[in-house]
Chain A
Amino acid sequence: MIEVSSLTKSYGKSRGIDGISFSIPEGQIVGFLGPNGAGKTTTMNIITGYLSADAGDVKIAGVDVLENPIEAKRHIGYLPEQPPLYHAMTVEEYLDFAYELKGVKSGQQEHIGSICQMTGLSDVYRRVIGHLSKGYKQRVGLAQALIGDPDVLILDEPTVGLDPRQIVEIRNVIKEMGKSRTIILSTHILPEVSAVCERVLVISNGVIVADDKPENLAGAISGERTLLARIAGPRDGIQSLLRGQDGIQSANHLGEMETGSHDFVIESKPNIDIRKPMFAALAKAGYPILMLRPQDASLEDIFLKLTDEAVAHEKPKKSKKTSARPQQKELDELFMDEEEDE
């Protein structure tokens, strides 16, 4: 449905996005994940034809956005980061305008009526947009994107500024719409991705650093590398045994949760499955394993890890520890910037 190939766009000297390619089949809900300034919005603006790429092309339902913009745009509903609202108009006037602007030809009243129903706008239908709360403004923006029943929806941070109940509502609306449409939504709220999306594209510094299902992403990165183990026996004995074991990067004592046993967080070296040798060694020493489970990385960890790795990848000379710090700082700054904006 959406074909994006080697998209590149620079702003002055800095690369906004750098060779992004992906393809999305019909009916998939895809999450764009990345820190602010990673290139999510730029990519979306290019897909919708608002910006033009320096190189690469975008095809919507087989139609090239640059060659045949009118036809391609007919397939797309777009909710930009800041909803494109005329504050002096009422919701009714605004949606009528969007309907006429997009040249939709199915019964106006029913079409707009059903969209308002779906987005929960019926109560504020006759009110002036400028007087609505942020949550309602966001919904008006979403309603606008739905006009004309486009088969592709591009939503840039659709749940920003909503209260928790509204977030759940909007997510449900998105899921509902996703049954019959292809959707790309961007976010930096990580639980949103696992709640709504079937697939995640993580973007960092203008490149795609991961492309997978949300649950696989969690597994691939940390599932086998970090283990939580409860082992019966003396603390020092277990610890020195674990630390002496090949393939174990670190073994940290967590505490004594169950009498006579100790909990450890064990991190293996990359690409090594230490479970079997560890079991054998502990059994030989007479320390039974009472519990062993992979420690799931939260999406936050994955996110930081992936975006860190992208930075480390770009600057291979620096060690990982030093490269991680500026990245973290950068993230903090970015988040602070955003708070100031609001």
Chain B
Amino acid sequence: MEEGRDLLERRISREDLLKLAAATGAAGLVAGRTGLAGAARAELAKESGRLQVLDWAGYGNDGGQTMFAAYVKKYPKNKPQFTYMTNEADALAKLHAGLKPDLFRPYVGWTKYFATSGLVQPWDPKLISNFKHLNPFMVKAGQLNGKQYGIPEDWGFDQILYRSDKVKPKAKSWGLLFDERYKGKIAWFDDLEMLTIAGLYLGFKNPWNQSDAELKKSQNLLKSKKHLVRLIWSSETNLWEAFGSGELWIAYAWPNDWVQMKKKKLKVVYMHPKEKPIAWVGMLMLLKGTQRYHLAHAYADAWSSAKSAKWLEDNYGYGHANTLARPSSSDLMRVLQITNPRAVTLPNAYFDRDIPRRSLYAKMWEEVKAA
């Protein structure tokens, strides 16, 4: 009862009114302000409780509060409640096991999978005021059949990080991850993407959809080079610790890892391999059947603002899809090529994409680790 009265008494801002008007369509617009306010109150009254967010560690109340501060300010009674995902496979298992978040954030390689899984529904970009500032190429990557399933947010590259005072690469190539000279000083990433990287290195036409023979060759390459690898990392803190203490000299890494190692005053290079890096972007996705449709949009809007974007760039060392944002670090500007709106695609990088035979890739990667 108390909660119901609170909802009815909640002040509706002009921005909310406009968003809700857009949501309710032309009829709502014609109905006039009084009618709209009633409709808006009714909509909001339906959307009660805390917004349920499934996200990665570091993006909730454990340090990522700035990303959704605007949302919390506007909807203090519907603060987000977080469940953490360790990867998309973990999120998938949680969703099938009955977890009911309102939104979650897989990366672009999984967008198509989730969009066709029946688990998610498209967003209404008209309800996200910052949507117009998002990188058009990344926005398009979040679409399927003309519908916006993913709202692009953080982005970056998979490249090679190495100690320039210890390592002398023969070439700017992914091959540095397989270089016999540095046995015991190399780190790979714990993901089936290593097969894609092997495919890139071996020069296959489509490393995301390798033939059986190609996949076998990629797997054999990884198996034959695994003895060089000291660590297959799955958590960045683990990588930073090992790289920072000199256990590792070469690693598959993200921009933030380079930023962190620079902070430790290590002489590091974030190498752009000749076979091209892989670029990725995090996509907020809206769960089908969410009871907090408008709140979820408001949350995505907060994440998409220039203020949140700049904070993300400055603190996490990733790029952000909001094109108005610029990081304070010129190093980061350079390595992310922030001023190039198509930095994530050719000719600069391969944009990560759907892997049609993902389960086979996963099985083969597990075999590499077990071998």
Asked if A and B are interacting partners, one says no
Footprint of B on A, CB under 8 Å? none
